[in-house]
A and B are shown apart, each in its own frame.
Chain A
């Protein structure tokens, strides 16, 4: 167990470090910008207000809300304390709804959409990539450019194309939203089928993009492994091809898990923008609304939650990696 403990402790410590860094960055970056951030925000909020005394009042109330009259260090501790209480302040655009309520209602949609989609894309991409490396010839010749094209495709572009083809021209699926418009979320069967209908297009646009990105990596990895000495040796030994492919696939898989951990941030970023196209009620749309309506607390909370989501995923992937990597497993017998 020693090897595992060491590995997991290392990963947990690293997770905590990144978490702290993310919180600090989320706090510092907006405050580090040249100029007075409050003035900029007030400038946006008060764009329609001509009266200078009310602008002044807005300015002061924001300054109080941010606690900008206190020293920076103290501001930071107030910020962290509020975070621990799940308090992100009140939304500017939907005053006085707490930001945490808005985030809480958006988060399940994003998690429910993105993780299944990214995992499906990852699995399909790996299978296709391994097949391309193994079969080569015609299959590879076709698949390679297609996945290269898909991999470089912007997620929102795929979303728009699927939307215009399947929802608008063919009218097969709903155009926007996460559930039928005018319906109150409940646990009824009709509501559930409505959700599934709205789920298709965002889901497949993310899946297609991830297939593109993942299969290329898997293809290179598998080609690399197929040329490795152990494969040649196994062939000379007369081991069945299918068994060899099994080994190759497993070895090529491991870097793919790391690859997923490294690219998950970018993938989630792309998928958030794809959410916007469908007005899917997730974090991407929430973030967009925050930006359009200059809702500063909402933006800060969304970016922090997105970061934490990515960090947790990376952490979980690291743990999974540790469980299946034979080298980590071997370390426990030392």
Chain B
């Protein structure tokens, strides 16, 4: 046993897979501990808020201390944030259409460019080729208004008694606040999803749930497969025929069709994570059965098994001491693959709208499903689905890698 483990951990493939898998598992376990909170809480009122650090405007205005910095290039940065390179090109495009010669327009010279724009832009002219383009130019004109201004901004408060604005604070160009002084700062490494939930927190919780689904499904499938495989292989005869008939049948009848039929027939209120996991397990035992049976058949007539039989050992003891240790490696390998296919099956099922009940859990499949229903991919909200796809792929990659590593150890013919 110790020797086998040492051998296993010497396989580069297994170790790589193991490290990736453990890292994902640790993230799912540790993150909720260091940063507790409900992963499904809807914190944002907008959907698909992009990743970043959000600082409360209210709190930053009310911060006790402001600091003064005179940074070179601050004004240019401010202008750039309002006027992207694309905007510049579009302005040039407009001016050329207006009839200016090409050499008169230089998109690098912000002041000259905007002077030309303000002199020549006329919303009545409608120089854009489409309505959308005309609207864009109008929006751009609004956005550019006051772009060079550097006057202080006055912050006022409405006096409820007199109905007058009372000046509260002046904000100048060079005022800065320290983020740690601002009471409310949210860090959203992966933005929010369509419901305004913190995607990263949700993802971590979904990893946990999906791994749990994979584990339950894998355990159910492995236990059924092991039992049927042992029965078929050891007993032989009619039992073998019957079991093989069914496992051949379910090899060709696609498991996901059965999964869809069963999942659809279960009332949604009862379709919890465990139920879905068990259903997945119930439809994926075939491979384990087949490989266990094949192994048991070749073991059945070995000398040590016959010896044990002659010594009058009971069937359970015979199976536990003389057969299981020899097929353990296959069962472990099949189990690893079952976990990964269980996670994938849940994802597919959820994409079809048959995943676990949607209100109180997050799974990788459900996150994907919601992102697609709210067309995150079309609105460019990559943070709502890319990380999910990546995590599913990494989990399945790491498990497959572990499986391949084990395969090479236990099937010496495949060794490099």
The answer to whether A binds B is: yes
Contact between chains at B385 and A160 (CB < 8 Å) = yes
Stretch at the interface among A107-115, A184-192, A237-245, A284-292: A284-292
Contact between chains at A148 and B397 (CB < 8 Å) = yes
A238 to B181 Cα, complex, angstroms:
81
Q: B338 interface residue, CB < 8 Å from A?
A: no
Count of residues in A whose CB is under 8 Å from the partner chain? 57
Closest to A314 in B: B252
B48 vs chain A, min Cβ distance (A): 14
A21 to B251 Cα, complex, angstroms:
12
Contact between chains at B260 and A303 (CB < 8 Å) = yes
Within 8 A of B (CB), among A10-37: 14, 17-18, 21-22, 25-26, 29-30, 32-33, 35, 37
Q: Which of B253, B257, B351, B401 contacts A156 (CB 8 A)?
A: B351
Stretch at the interface among B127-135, B148-156, B221-229, B264-272: B264-272
Q: Contacts A276-B372, A314-B252 given: A149-B351 contact, CB under 8 Å?
A: no
Q: B281 interface residue, CB < 8 Å from A?
A: no
Closest to B286 in A: A262
Contact between chains at A168 and B377 (CB < 8 Å) = yes
A43 to B265 Cα, complex, angstroms:
12
Q: B255 interface residue, CB < 8 Å from A?
A: yes
Q: Contacts A25-B253, A273-B348 given: A224-B414 contact, CB under 8 Å?
A: yes
- Residues of A within 8 Å of B262, CB to CB, are 29, 33
Within 8 A of A (CB), among B239-285: 248-249, 251-258, 260-262, 264-267
Within 8 A of B (CB), among A253-305: 261-262, 265-266, 268-270, 273, 276-277, 287-288, 291-292, 299, 303
Closest to B290 in A: A262
- Residues of A within 8 Å of B265, CB to CB, are 29-30, 32-33, 37, 40
A152 to B398 Cα, complex, angstroms:
9
Q: B344 interface residue, CB < 8 Å from A?
A: yes
Q: B216 interface residue, CB < 8 Å from A?
A: no
Q: A154 interface residue, CB < 8 Å from B?
A: yes
Stretch at the interface among B26-34, B83-91, B292-300, B388-396: B388-396
- Residues of B within 8 Å of A277, CB to CB, are 372, 377
Q: B119 interface residue, CB < 8 Å from A?
A: no
B374-386 interface code vs A (CB 8 A; 1 in, 0 out): 0001101010011
B385 vs chain A, min Cβ distance (A): 6
Contact between chains at A273 and B393 (CB < 8 Å) = no
B123-152 interface code vs A (CB 8 A; 1 in, 0 out): 000000000000000000000000000000
Contact between chains at B392 and A154 (CB < 8 Å) = yes
A214 vs chain B, min Cβ distance (A): 14
Q: A74 interface residue, CB < 8 Å from B?
A: no
A33-72 interface code vs B (CB 8 A; 1 in, 0 out): 1010100100100000000000000000000000000000
Q: B49 interface residue, CB < 8 Å from A?
A: no
Q: Which of A160, A223, A270 contacts B389 (CB 8 A)?
A: A160
A216 vs chain B, min Cβ distance (A): 8
- Residues of A within 8 Å of B258, CB to CB, are 25, 29
A224 to B407 Cα, complex, angstroms:
13
Contact between chains at B378 and A311 (CB < 8 Å) = no
Contact between chains at B257 and A307 (CB < 8 Å) = yes
Q: Which of B257, B261, B380, B401 contacts A168 (CB 8 A)?
A: B380
Closest to B415 in A: A223
Contact between chains at B348 and A154 (CB < 8 Å) = yes
Q: Contacts A223-B413, A276-B351 given: A152-B253 contact, CB under 8 Å?
A: no
Q: Which of B261, B344, B393, B413 contacts A25 (CB 8 A)?
A: B261
Q: B186 interface residue, CB < 8 Å from A?
A: no
Q: B44 interface residue, CB < 8 Å from A?
A: no
Contact between chains at B267 and A35 (CB < 8 Å) = yes
Within 8 A of B (CB), among A301-325: 303, 306-307, 310-311, 314
A149 to B399 Cα, complex, angstroms:
10
A43 to B253 Cα, complex, angstroms:
30
- Residues of B within 8 Å of A157, CB to CB, are 368, 389, 392-393
Contact between chains at A156 and B267 (CB < 8 Å) = no
- Residues of A within 8 Å of B249, CB to CB, are 17-18, 21
A299 to B353 Cα, complex, angstroms:
12
- Residues of B within 8 Å of A262, CB to CB, are 251
Q: Which of A152, A273, A314 contacts B397 (CB 8 A)?
A: A152
B327-353 interface code vs A (CB 8 A; 1 in, 0 out): 000000000000011001001100111
A290 vs chain B, min Cβ distance (A): 9
Q: B404 interface residue, CB < 8 Å from A?
A: yes
Closest to B249 in A: A21
- Residues of B within 8 Å of A43, CB to CB, are 267
Contact between chains at B340 and A269 (CB < 8 Å) = no
- Residues of B within 8 Å of A99, CB to CB, are none
Q: Which of A32, A153, A265 contacts B254 (CB 8 A)?
A: A265
Q: B400 interface residue, CB < 8 Å from A?
A: yes
Q: B354 interface residue, CB < 8 Å from A?
A: yes
A176 vs chain B, min Cβ distance (A): 8
Closest to A21 in B: B249
Contact between chains at B348 and A270 (CB < 8 Å) = yes
A89 to B228 Cα, complex, angstroms:
39
Within 8 A of B (CB), among A151-173: 151-154, 156-157, 160-161, 163-164, 168
Contact between chains at B400 and A151 (CB < 8 Å) = yes
- Residues of B within 8 Å of A216, CB to CB, are 404
- Residues of B within 8 Å of A153, CB to CB, are 392-393, 396-397
- Residues of A within 8 Å of B253, CB to CB, are 18, 21-22, 25, 265, 307, 310-311
17 sample A-B contacts, Cβ–Cβ < 8 Å, listed by A number: A35-B267, A153-B397, A154-B347, A156-B348, A160-B372, A164-B380, A223-B413, A223-B414, A265-B257, A268-B254, A269-B256, A276-B372, A291-B352, A291-B353, A299-B260, A310-B254, A314-B252
Which residues of B come within 8 Å of A, CB atoms?
248-249, 251-258, 260-262, 264-267, 340-341, 344, 347-348, 351-354, 368, 372, 377-378, 380, 382, 385-386, 389, 392-393, 396-397, 399-401, 404, 407, 413-414, 416
Which residues of A come within 8 Å of B, CB atoms?
14, 17-18, 21-22, 25-26, 29-30, 32-33, 35, 37, 40, 43, 136, 145, 148-149, 151-154, 156-157, 160-161, 163-164, 168, 175, 216, 220, 223-224, 227, 261-262, 265-266, 268-270, 273, 276-277, 287-288, 291-292, 299, 303, 306-307, 310-311, 314
- Would you list the 8 A-B pairs with minimal beta carbon distance, nearest first? A265-B254, A152-B396, A157-B389, A33-B265, A269-B256, A29-B261, A30-B265, A152-B400
